[in-house]
Amino acid sequence: MKITKRQLKRIIRKTLREGAYEKLNADVTGDSSNLDQELYFDLAQEVEALCEKYATDPRFAQYGITDADVLEELKNVIREIE
């Protein structure tokens, strides 16, 4: 089967727009463990732990830094990385 340039471009654009859900859901992987959900919930736990770690660090806690403050700063970091 030969793929035209137009078809290839469409495939590449679709692939670049896909996220973790589109790549890891059970329909795609054939794995009933729902890898997309595992990734989501594992990341959520790690982010919560990271926020708590910095919020309870004496260097920052003494100035009233909370988990929410750390989460907001993490969002800023992610925006900069993107």
- Reading the block at residue 66, the tokens are 């909370």
Are 67 and 51 in contact by the 8 Å Cβ rule? The answer is: yes
The model's pTM: 0.69
Sorted by where each begins, the domain ranges of the chain are 5-81
One-letter amino acid at 50 equals L
- Reading the block at residue 12, the tokens are 């590449």
Query: pLDDT tens digits, the chain, 82 residues: what are they?
Result: 677 777 777 766 766 667 787 778 777 778 777 888 888 899 999 999 999 999 999 999 999 999 999 999 999 998 898 7
